[in-house]
Structure 1
Amino acid sequence: MVLNTPSISKVRYGIIGCGMMGQEHLRNIALLPGASVTRIFEPDDAMAAASLSMTPGSQRAFSLAEVVTSPDVDCLLVASPNFRHAEQLADIAALRPLPVLLEKPACTSLDSLRDLALLRKAYPAPIWVAMEYRYMPPVARLTEEAHSQIHTGPLSMLSIREHRFPFLVKVGDWNRFNRYTGGTLVEKCCHFFDLMRHVLRSEPVRVYASASVAHNHLEERYADGVPDILDNAYVVVDFANGQRAMLELCMFAEGARYQEEISLVGSRGKAECFVPGPGRFWPAHLGAAPVPKVVISPREPKGPRELDVPVDPVALAAGDHNGSTFYQHQRFNAVVRGQGEVEVSLRDGLAAVLMGLAAQESARTGQAIDLTRGDYALAQI
């Protein structure tokens, strides 16, 4: 193991929801010295058994309340299905408001967003929304370029392209329907709307989206009906400081070398990063998976400069998010120990959801959505 993590005092985690993403969190918590998982609430028996096998000494709980009120729990990870997040956070607030790492999206509707906006102001403990993409090493390196402006100058444009695989199978198939996920532009893309705000350091004022269901899940049938989640989209966002950002999403392009490509353009030059998808999906016959890159392209003197941004192999092997889940947990763990500050607040998480909901509505109606007034006003959070 080559991770460089300082020795820490013991922090005991309670887990609410432990499916595919929850188990990625378990693998990363296991890399933190002094951290342990003591309680797991996971209604699905198979997922619960798999999770317990990964966390020696942990116990299965049979309710959220059992986890939250257990004296051997110091903080909580909520990784349940999207549509459970708001109600579960409200239950936690009523029972015992512990520090929470809340998986994205924070919620899935305007009503739950308004409820959480009120909860945010009263909750006495830290809430960190899990926006893993901020902590991917190549994305973090690109963000440094954006904030320093050394090579780009003041930014004018931000473009994010994600070409990836379709949604994976989840327990109960809840991720096939907008009413459970919030819609693809909330469920998947809140990460990217968060990155836009984080990189540009400005608030969005208008969203326009064009999207459809072109290829994925068209032949699937469930008790809830035919899947209605979008599988491709363009989203354009105008920001208060005059900058513009664009998202290009395609969920039937898993043959690409890189899954995410992000570019920044300013008055002095351009900076880009290239991020491969999960290593477990890279075809073995092609050899080693691609190494993430950052490319700096100044206007003068002309000529791009490529920088490899390798990810620690231990962190890389612990999940599907380019090592970011581990780096996020390091920082959240420090907050629990009183040695750090929340970097992705509940307000950040709600802003990303609001942008996603506005994009879903724009795609539905064909109209741009104003984020300065009305139902989608950012001021309400």
Structure 2
Amino acid sequence: MAAIFEPDPGMMAASLALAPGARPVASIADLLAADGVDCVLIASPNHHHLGQLEEIAARRPLPVLVEKPLFTEAADTERIAALKARLPLMWVAMEYRYMPPVTAFVEQADDATGGIRMLSIREHRFPFLAKVGDWNRFNRNTGGTFVEKCCHFFDLMRLILKSDPVRIMASAGQAVNHLDERYGGEMPDILDHGYVLVDFASGARAMLELCMFAEGSRYQEELCAVGGSGKIECRVPGPGRFWPRHLGAAPMPELIVSPRNPPGPRLLEIPVDARLLEAGDHNGSTYFEHVRFVAAVRGQGSVEVTPQDGWWAVVMGLAAQQSAREGRAVDLASEFAMPDQLTVTDFSTISPNC
């Protein structure tokens, strides 16, 4: 049995069109009281995630898949730590891990590079889309662009490098997008471009390049890892619905392995089921992650994106926001202390999606 709590009438209608057998309910309390509901998916605006998790933990602790980001303010850290002990299963929806080309990149990166020393992630994409009530136009609701948009990439950095970050430096701004928009007389304050440099405890270095006014790009995400033995790259196209139809078929995701000796780049295309591409914008990743979440709920798998992973992804974004704002490097150990309940590190690995 499925139930949906959605306070916006338009979104409720859209949700029921996708899941016509679901029962609409008027509150989270009603959702949790519904017979047959045995797990919960939270896909609400960022600033509601934490409060809704706490309500679930207080009323009826069920396994939860919560959309990123896990929280939006540094002061929320202790509340996240408390939830870990109260909820039987909490999985943070870092779905970029589950894009088939990214999965292949993660699995092959160490062998291709001989041990990664440099990692770069580039996202050149379209501006933030319009959301219900325009909540995503302001840092106070999103945590800031480096939290809202880029927590995915900070999560990937930790996953790929199998290490925790120690220092972050960023430069960013709002140059093109949303400058002529006003909401209650207030101009949006979200960043639309920037660079972030991250030093890791392992000695590896990573860089993020974000541009949100580059929707004309052939590829939306590009990952590159380099080590003593070679280089590996991953190229992921954006949503097919944005690809210009007059150009023909949308690009295919690619993996490129470039050894140093003997040199000779090898290109491998990573096809994704067309039905999954039509169902969503993230290269089929939502489907693959949900399958794994359901398996974990049924006791047939483990949580692959933990509250600790969610904490790090947000903290890295908050530190990047702070660095860009203050014009200085941010030392994570001294400025963002992890609660004891979240200190066990387990760098998850993911298996092939096939």
TM range (shorter): over 0.9
Equivalent-residue separation in structure 2 for 1:154 and 1:136 (angstroms) = 22
Equivalent residue number for residue 30 of structure 2? 66
Equivalent residue number for residue 244 of structure 1? 205
Counterpart code for 1:292: P
1:125 to 54, 78, 88: 88
| TM-score (ref. length: structure 1) | 0.88
Superposition RMSD in Å = 1.1
Runs of 4+ in 1 over 6 A off after TM superposition: none
Counterpart code for 1:265: V
Equivalent residue number for residue 369 of structure 1? 330
Equivalent residue number for residue 212 of structure 1? 173
1:181 to 142, 147, 150: 142
Equivalent-residue separation in structure 2 for 1:362 and 1:379 (angstroms) = 22
> Cα gap change, 1:379/1:92 in structure 2, threshold over 3 Å: closer, same or farther?
closer
Cα contact 1:372–1:379 (8 A) shared by 2 = no
Instruction: State the SS of the aligned residue for 1:191.
Output: helix
Counterpart code for 2:322: E
Equivalent residue number for residue 347 of structure 2? none
Distance apart, 1:245 and its partner CA: 0.4
Equivalent residue number for residue 107 of structure 2? 144
Alignment deviations for residues 135-173 of structure 1 (CA, whole Å, 9 cap, x no partner): 000000000012xx2221011011000000000000000
> Cα gap change, 1:188/1:224 in structure 2, threshold over 3 Å: closer, same or farther?
farther
1:110 to 58, 65, 74: 74
| TM-score (ref. length: structure 2) | 0.94
Equivalent residue number for residue 165 of structure 1? 126
Alignment deviations for residues 188-247 of structure 1 (CA, whole Å, 9 cap, x no partner): 000000000000000000010000000000000002611000000100000001000000
Alignment deviations for residues 83-115 of structure 1 (CA, whole Å, 9 cap, x no partner): 000111011100111010100001100112331
Alignment deviations for residues 269-309 of structure 1 (CA, whole Å, 9 cap, x no partner): 00000000000000000000000000000001112110000
Gaps in structure 2 of 5+ consecutive residues: 343-354
Equivalent residue number for residue 305 of structure 2? 344
Matches within 5 A, 1:1-381: 12=1, 38-120=2-84, 122-146=85-109, 149-223=110-184, 225-374=186-335, 376-378=336-338, 381=342
Counterpart code for 2:219: Y
Equivalent-residue separation in structure 2 for 1:377 and 1:253 (angstroms) = 36
Instruction: State the SS of the aligned residue for 1:338.
Output: coil
Total equivalences in the alignment? 341
Instruction: State the SS of the aligned residue for 2:91.
Output: strand
Counterpart code for 1:97: P
Which range moved further: 348-357 or 223-232? Answer: 223-232
Counterpart code for 1:157: M
Gaps in structure 1 of 5+ consecutive residues: 1-11, 13-37
Equivalent-residue separation in structure 2 for 1:249 and 1:114 (angstroms) = 30
Cα contact 2:179–2:188 (8 A) shared by 1 = yes
Cα contact 2:77–2:339 (8 A) shared by 1 = no
Instruction: State the SS of the aligned residue for 2:113.
Output: coil
Equivalent-residue separation in structure 2 for 1:46 and 1:277 (angstroms) = 26
Distance apart, 1:79 and its partner CA: 0.2
Distance apart, 1:377 and its partner CA: 2.9
Identity %: 62
> Cα gap change, 1:293/1:321 in structure 2, threshold over 3 Å: closer, same or farther?
same
Cα contact 1:69–1:95 (8 A) shared by 2 = no
Equivalent-residue separation in structure 2 for 1:93 and 1:78 (angstroms) = 13
Equivalent-residue separation in structure 2 for 1:105 and 1:362 (angstroms) = 19
Equivalent-residue separation in structure 2 for 1:369 and 1:303 (angstroms) = 39
